[in-house]
Structure 1
Amino acid sequence: MKIAIGCDHGGYLLKQDILIWLEEHNIDFEDVGCYSTESVDYPMYGEKVGRMVASGQCDKGIVICTTGIGISIAANKVAGIRCAHCTDPLSAEMTRRHNDANVLALGAGITGPNLAKRMVEVFLNTDFEGGRHARRVAQLDAIRP
Structure 2
Amino acid sequence: MKIAIGNDHAGTDYKNAIVSYLESEGHTVSNFGTNTNDSVDYPDFVHPVAQAVSDGDVDMGIIICGSGNGASMTANKHQKVRSALCWTKEISALAREHNNANILSIPARFTSQPQAIDMVKTFIETPFEGGRHQRRVDKIACA
Taking structure 1 as the reference length, what is the TM-score of the superposition? 0.96
Deviations 1:47-85 (A, max 9, x none): 111000010000000000011111111111111110000
CA distance, structure 2, for counterparts of residue 42 and residue 67 of structure 1: 11
Q: Distance in 2 between matches of 1:108 and 1:97?
A: 23
Report the counterpart of residue 111 of structure 2 in structure 1.
111
* TM-score, structure 2 as length reference: 0.97
Counterpart CA distance in 2 for 1:103 and 1:57 is 13
Q: Deviations 1:36-57 (Å, cap 9, x if unpaired)? A: 1111100121211100001000
Alpha-carbon offset, residue 24 of structure 1? 1.2
**SS of 2:139's equivalent?**
helix
Segments of 5+ residues of structure 1 without an aligned counterpart are none
What SS is found at the alignment partner of 1:140? coil
- Deviations along 1:78-128, whole A, 9 cap, x unmatched? 111100000001100011000000000001111111010000000000000
Show the counterpart of 1:20.
20
2:127 is matched with which residue? 127
- Paired amino acid for 2:42: Y
Q: Deviations over 1:13-40 (max 9, x none)?
A: 1111101111111111100121111111
SS at 2:109's partner residue? coil
Higher deviation after alignment, 25-34 or 56-65: 25-34
Matches within 5 A, 1:92-107: 92-107=92-107
In the TM superposition, 1:1-145 aligns within 5 A as 1-141=1-141, 143-144=142-143
Where has structure 1 moved over 6 Å in runs of 4 or more?
none
* SS of residue in 2 equivalent to 1:35: coil
Q: How many residues align?
A: 143
For residues 44 and 128 of structure 2, the distance between their equivalents in structure 1, rounded to whole angstroms, comes to 28
